[in-house]
A and B are shown apart, each in its own frame.
Chain A
Amino acid sequence: MMIEALIGFTFVAALLVLLAPDEWAGRLAFAFSLLPFAGALYLWSGFDGAGNALTGGDIAYATQIEWLEVGGRTVSWFVGVDGISLPLVVLTTFLVPLAIVSAWTPIDARQSQFYGLMLFMEANLLGVFTALDFFLWFVFWEAVLVPMYFLIGVWGGPRRKYAAIKFFVYTNAASLLMFIGFMSLTFALGDTQSFALPEITQAIASGGLETWFGISPDRIAMIAFVAMFAGFAVKVPIVPVHTWLPDAHVEAPTPVSVLLAGVLLKMGTYALLRFNFTMLPDQASALAVPIAAIAVISVIYGAMLALAQKDLKRIVAYSSVSSMGYVILGLVVFTEYGVGGATFQMVAHGLISGLMFMAVGVIYNATHTRMVGDMSGMADRMPVAVGILVAGAFGYMGLPLMAGFAGEFFIFVGSFSAPALPYAPLFTALAMFGIVIVAGYLLSAMQSTLFGPFELETDYEVGPAPFHDVAPLAVLLVAIIVLGVAPDIFFEMIRDAALPVVEGVTING
C-alpha cells in the first residue's frame, strides 16, 4: 500500500496547493513535496525485490486489484517496484522539491496553479515508474503531458505557445504510434487475457504470439518493436526526432526544464528498456546495428549541435540529446554493465542535467540573459553559484568520482565487448569521442561567460544569488558526488534487475 499512499498523497497535495493562496503556494508545495521523498526513501530502505519485475522476479510493494474487465481482458491496478524503477522513483521525488525551491525566484504569477501542476506531474511520474499494467501505465504516461503542456504554455518564455504545441503534438503522435505497436502485441497474444506487463512479457518469451490478421508472429513482433521504438524515441529523444526538445527547454521556466531533462526524458529510456528491450529482446538484438548507429549519431550529432549554440540553455538541452544516446547504446548491447549502466546513467543524468539547468536559471535570474556573448566574468559576482555550475559541468564531462563518470564508465565497459552487437568496439570508440566534444563546448562556454573581467550587456545589478536559489544546487552537487563515490547504492539493485533482461536475449551468429 506504500506506493498507493505515495501517489495518492501527491495528488491530494497538488489539489491543496492549487487551492492555496499565491503568496505561500511555493512554501506549501515544498513542504508537501518532502513527504513523497521521505516515502521514497522508506520504500528504498525496505526494498525486498529481486530480479526484474517483468521477467518474473520478486516485485517489491506489489498490489494488484482488478479494475475492470472488458471483452474478456482484464485491466488492473497493478503497481510495484524493482531494481530498475526504484532508483527512478527516488530520483523523481528528490528532484521535485529542489525544482520547486528553484521556482521561488523566477515564478511570479499564478503561483498556486504552477506549484499545483508541478505536484500533479510528480504524482503521474511516480505512476509511470511504478505501474505494471499497461493501461494504468499508459494513463499515467499521458497524464504527464497535460501539466507539462500548461507549464510550458503558461509560464514559458516568448515563444511558449509554439514550444508547448510542438511538445504536445510530437509526444502525442509518438504515444499513438507506441500504443498501436503495443496493442498489436496484445491482439496477437490470443491466450493472454490481461494487460499486466509481467504476464505479457512472459507470454511473449514462451512463444505465445499467434498469427493475427494473416500476419506472422515474427512480423508482428517486429512491427510492434519498430512502432514502440519510434514512439519512445521521440520522448527520449533520439536524433532525428529530437527537435521539440530544445524548443521546449528554452521556453520552459527553469524548474520545468529541470523536471523535463531530469525525469521526463527518463520516461522514454525507461519505457524503451521495459517494453522494447525486456519484452522483445530478440527483435532488439536483430536490429542492434541500426539502433547502435542511431545511438552513436545522437551522441555525436547532439554534441555538435550543442557546440554551435549561443544560448546556455540550448547548450545544456542539446547535450541532453547527446547523453541520452549513451543510454540507448548501453541498452542495445545487452550486457550486464551495458543495461545496468544505462539505467544508472538515467539517474546520474537526471541529477547532473537538473543541476546544469538550475545553475543556468540562477544566472538568468540575475542577468536576464542566457546568451554566451552577452556576459563574461560572472564568477566575480556570483562565486558560489558559478562554482557549483563549474563542478556540475565537470560532472557532465565525466570527471571521476562523480555520478556521470560512473554511468558512462559502466556503459563503455558493457558495450566494448558486447556479444549481441557486431562491431561493438567501433561503436563504443565512436561514442566515447562524444565526451571530447562535450568537454569542448562546456569549457568554451564557461570560459567566455564565467571568467575574465565582468561585463554584462544589460543593465541589471548583479550580486550573489539568494540562499534559496543556491541551496538546491548544493544539494544536487552533493548527491552527484555521493552517487559517483558509491555507485553501488543504486547499482547493486539495478544490476540485479538488469541481469534477467540480458539473459532473455538470444544472440544470433
Chain B
Amino acid sequence: MVNTLPQVAALLPVFLLAFTGLALLLVDTISPDARSNTSMAVVGALGSLAALAASVWLVVSGTGSADTGGAITLFAEAIKVDTMALFFTAIFASVTALVVVAAHDYFHDHASPAAFYSLVVFAATGMALLAAANSLAVVFVALEMVSLPSYVLVAYLKQDRGSVEAGMKYFLVGALSSAIFLFGISLVYAATGSLLFAGVAEGIGSLAGLAGVAGLGIVMIVGGVAYKTASVPFHFWAPEAYEGAPAPVSAFLSSASKAAGFVVAFRLFTEAFPVGASLTAGIDWVLAFGVLAAVTMTLGNFAAAVQEEVKRMLAYSSIGHAGYVLIGVAALSQSGSANDAVMGAAMAHLLVYGFMNTGAFLFVAMAERWGVGRTFEDYAGLSRRAPVASVAMAVFMFSLAGLPPFAGFFSKYFLFMGAIDNGFLWLAAFGAVNSVISLYYYSRVVKALFIDDPASSSSLDAIDVRPTGLYAAVVFAAVATVLLLPGFGPVIETAEAAASALF
C-alpha cells in the first residue's frame, strides 16, 4: 500500500502540521472578525490529531522500518524518515493536541488567541522536521523553527511581567546556545567535510589530526542539546521560563520541546558521531553525557524538593527527568549488547513523560484558571471541589515518581535495566536514588490535594467553573498514563526497533 504512494508521503505528519498552522494564520489574517477562540482551537486540535493519526498509521504500516526496506531519504538525503522520526512525531502531535485543547479554556478571555494556536502548531512542525533531519543544516534550521515560536509563546501574556521576563530570559539563553550550537556544527564540518550524518560519521573515522577541532565541535553541540533538553549546564532558563510562561506553554515546552532536543541527541550521537568511531578518535562524549546525566538528575531532584510553588517544582522535576532520559545516550557503549534497549527505553520514557508531564502542567493551568494560587498550601483540599481532576493529578504525580501501578514505572525501570545491561551500574544507581527522592516532593502535591484541609472554608470558592477543554485534556492524559501500563508492550517494542535501526 504505502509503496505505491510517493515517498514524500512519509512526511505526511509534518505537512499536516504545517498546513494546520498556515490555515490558522490564514483565517486569522483574512477574516479577523470571523475568528473565534473555539473554532481556532478546534482546527488546531483536529490538525494535530490528524498528524498523530498519520504518524501512528505510518509506524503501524512499517514505513521507514527495517522490515520494509529501511529509512526513506528525501531531498538529497537531507531528510530521513524512519520509525524513530515517526515515533517522536507521534509524541509531538499528542502533546500539541493536549495543549491546544487546554489552551482553549486558558485563553478564554484573551484578545487574540488565534496567533497562539498557530505558533504552537508551527513549533510542532519544526519538531517533527527535527525528528526527520539527516543533516546538520536541517537540524539547525528546524531547531530555530522550534525556538522562535517558543520565545513568543513564553512571553504570550504580554501584560504579565512574569511572562515577559521569562520570555526575555529564554530568548537570551536560547540565542547564546544557538550560536554555540552553530559554531559546533561549523567546527564539525571543518573537521569532517560533510553536513550529512553519514558523511560526518565517515569523517570521524579518519580525522587525521583534526580530532581536536571535531572534539570541540562535538562539545559545543552537546551544549546545544543540553539547552534544548534543559539539562545541566544550560538548564537555568527552564525554571524561570516554565514558571513565568502561561501553564499550557510550560506543558508544551517541558514535554514536546524537551523530546525534540532528545531526538536530536539520539540521532547525532548514533548516526553522526557513532560511539565506536568517536572513542577511537579519542572523543569520549559518552563520559561527558554520563556526568551530565548524573548531575542533571541530582540537581533537578534536589532543587525540586525545596520548592514551595507547584509549577516551579514541576519545572525542576522536568530537569530531573531530562537527566533520566540522558541515560539513553550516556549508557551507550562500543561493545554493549543493550544499546538499542537503553535508547528504546529512553524513547518510551519520553512518550510516557509526554502524557504525564503535560497533564501535570495542565492541572496547574486549571489551577491558574481558577485562580487558587501557586503554592502547595494553596492546593490544599482541592480534591473536595474537583475530585476528578485531583485524581488525575495524583496519577501524574505517582507516575512521574515511578510508582509501579503507572506507566512511569515501566519506562524508568527499563531505562535503568538497559543501563545495567550495558555495564553502567553507576548511572542506574544514580537514577534509582533520585527516583526515591522524587517521591517526596511529588507526594507533597497529592497530600495537599487529598489529605490537607483547605486554608479556610471560603478558599475553595474560587473553583466556580468547569473548563471543559482543560478537563478533557487532563483526564485524557491521565487515562493515557494509566493505559500505557498494560499497553506498554507495543510502545517499547516499537521504540527498541526504532533505536536498533540506528546502530
Is this pair of chains taken from one and the same complex?
yes
Q: A residues within 8 Å of B by Cβ?
A: 66-72, 113, 124, 138-139, 141-143, 145-146, 150, 153-154, 160-161, 164-165, 168, 172-173, 176, 180, 183, 187, 213
17 A-B contacts (beta carbon < 8 Å): A67-B488, A68-B488, A68-B489, A70-B344, A70-B414, A70-B493, A70-B496, A142-B403, A142-B405, A145-B403, A150-B450, A154-B450, A154-B451, A161-B452, A165-B443, A172-B436, A176-B436
Task: Report whether B451 and A70 are in contact in the complex, using a CB–CB cutoff of 8 Å.
Answer: no
A residues less than 8 Å from B432 (CB atoms) = 176, 180
> How would you classify the secondary structure of chain A's contact residues: helix, strand, loop or mixed?
helix
- Identify the interface centre among A67, A68, A113: most chain B CB within 10 Å of its CB: A68
> Besides the contacts A70-B493, A146-B398, what 12 more A-B pairs have beta carbons closer than 8 Å?
A68-B488, A68-B493, A70-B414, A70-B496, A139-B409, A143-B404, A145-B403, A146-B403, A150-B450, A161-B451, A165-B443, A168-B443
Q: Which of A69, A70, A153, A173 contacts B447 (CB 8 A)?
A: A153
Q: Mark B434-455, 1 if CB is under 8 A from A, else 0.
A: 0010010001000100111000
Report whether B451 and A142 are in contact in the complex, using a CB–CB cutoff of 8 Å: no
Q: Does B425 contact A (CB under 8 A)?
A: yes
Taking the closest CB of chain A, its distance from the CB of B400, in whole angstroms, is 14
Q: Is the CB of A165 within 8 A of B447?
A: yes
User: B338 near A: Cβ within 8 Å?
Assistant: yes
- Which of B15-23, B63-71, B416-424 is found at the contact surface with chain A? B416-424
A138 to B425, CA, bound (A): 22
> B387 contacts which of A67, A113, A138, A187 (Cβ < 8 Å)?
A113
Q: Which residue of A lies closest to B422 (CB)?
A: A71
Nearest chain A CB to B465 CB, angstrom units: 22
Q: Which residue of B lies closest to A110 (CB)?
A: B384
Q: Which residues of B contact A187 (CB under 8 A)?
A: 420-421
With A153-B447, A153-B451, A180-B432 as known contacts, state yes or no: A71 contacts B404, CB within 8 Å: no
| Residue among A139, A165, A183, A213 making CB contact with B404, cutoff 8 Å | A139
Q: Does B485 have its Cβ within 8 Å of any Cβ on chain A?
A: yes
Q: Are B421 and A71 in contact (CB under 8 A)?
A: yes
**Given A113-B387, A146-B398, A139 and B485 touching (CB < 8 A)?**
yes
B345 at the A interface (CB under 8 A): yes
Contact A67 B486, beta carbon cutoff 8 Å: yes
A150 to B439, CA, bound (A): 16
Please measure, in the bound complex, the distance between the C-alpha atom of A187 and the C-alpha atom of B425, giving whole angstroms: 11
Q: Shortest CB–CB separation between residue A286 and chain B, in angstroms?
A: 26
Say whether B256 faces chain A, with CB atoms less than 8 Å apart: no
What CA separation (Å) do A176 and B439 show in the bound complex?
Answer: 12
Chain B facing A: main interface SS: helix
- Residues of chain B lying within 8 A (CB to CB) of residue A139: 404-405, 409, 485
A-B pairs, 6 with minimum CB distance? A68-B489, A142-B404, A143-B405, A71-B341, A153-B451, A139-B404
Interface size class of B (residues with CB under 8 A): 20 to 34
Known contacts A139-B485, A153-B451; A70 and B443 CB within 8 A of each other: no
Given the complex of chains A and B, what is the CA–CA distance between A330 and B328 in angstroms? 46
B-chain residues with CB within 8 Å of residue A213 when the two chains form the complex: 425
Whether B492 is near chain A, meaning CB under 8 Å from some CB there, is yes
Of all chain B residues, which has the CB nearest A173? B436
Given contacts A146-B398, A161-B452, A176-B436, contact A67 B338 (CB under 8 A): no
Per-residue CB proximity of B382-407 to A under 8 Å, as 1/0?
A: 00000100000000001000011100
For window 115-143 of chain B, which residues contact chain A by CB distance below 8 Å? Answer: none
A68 and B405 within 8 A (CB): no
- Closest Cβ of chain A to B445, distance in Å, is 13
* Chain B neighbourhood of A67, CB < 8 A: 486, 488-489
Residue of A nearest to B423 (CB): A213
Q: Is the CB of B405 within 8 A of A172?
A: no
A5 CB → nearest B CB, Å = 17
Q: Give Cα distance in the complex from A168 to B444, angstroms.
A: 12
Q: Please name the residue on chain B nearest to A141 by beta carbon.
A: B404
Q: How far is the CA of A363 from the CA of B414 in the complex (A)?
A: 50
| Minimal Cβ-Cβ distance residue in B for A150 | B450
CA separation between A142 and B401, bound complex, in Å?
Answer: 13
- The answer for the CA separation of A191 and B487 in the assembled complex, in Å, is 27
B335–chain A nearest beta-carbon distance, Å:
16
Which residues 475-501 of B have a CB within 8 angstroms of A? 485-486, 488-489, 492-493, 496
Contact A172 B345 (CB under 8 A): no
B436 contacts A70, CB within 8 Å? Answer: no
Residues of A with C-beta under 8 A to B425: 213
Q: Which A residues lie within 8 Å of B489 (CB)?
A: 66-69
The answer to whether A172 and B439 have CB atoms under 8 Å apart is yes
Question: Is the Cβ of B486 less than 8 Å from the Cβ of A71?
Answer: no
Q: How far is the CA of A183 from the CA of B450 in the complex (A)?
A: 33
Contact of A68 among B338, B421, B492 (CB under 8 A): B492
Chain B residues lying within 8 Å of A150, measured Cβ to Cβ, are 450-451
Chain B's closest residue to A113 (CB) is: B387
Residues on B with C-beta less than 8 A from A146 are 398, 403, 405
Nearest chain B CB to A107's CB is how many angstroms away? 16
Alpha-carbon separation in the docked complex, A183 to B414 (Å): 12
A213 to B344, CA, bound (A): 24
- Determine how close the nearest CB of chain B comes to the CB of A146; give it in whole angstroms: 6
